[in-house]
Amino acid sequence: MAEAFLNSLGSDRFEAESAGLEPGQLNPIVVEAMKEIGIDISRNATRSAFDCFKSGRLYSYVITVCDETNAERCPVFPGFAKRLHWGFPDPAKLQGTYEEKLRDARIIRDSIKAQIEQWLSQNT
């Protein structure tokens, strides 16, 4: 979600890449929540943060959005990168019915969007 929002809202200044601690599949509830607001992430590939690290690419910012329990597991990237951590609940850990999970994913989605909008307004 964060990658999609940053690429959508800040594409004139930033190019975001997303990676997880462990590559997997896109969460269908997250895909649905984003689709509701006109952003289709259904074809996005999942990648490992370690794969990004191994590529040797340099980043200006490394922004982690995982929950606090996983924040310390994030790798350190080479070069000068300002590291920011924005803790959000993991949508993969949401519980309840499909509708309850979707409701909670919307809350996470909207919180991530608000954080990115705020950050972009401060980094113009």
Of 87 and 40, more confident: 40
**Percentages (nearest 5) of helix, strand, coil residues in the chain:** 45, 10, 50
- Non-local (6+) Cβ contacts of 121 within 8 A are none
Domains of the chain (ranges; CATH) run 2-116 (3.40.50.2300)
> Cα separation of 44 and 79, whole Å?
26
pTM check: above 0.85: yes
DSSP conformation letters of 46-98: P-BHHHHHHHT---SEEEE-S-HHHHTTSPPPSSS-EEEE-----GGG--SSH
- Between these two residues, 20 and 37, which has the higher pLDDT value? 37
CA 78/CA 53 separation, integer angstroms: 7
pLDDT in tens, 87-121: 899 898 999 999 999 999 999 999 999 999 999 99
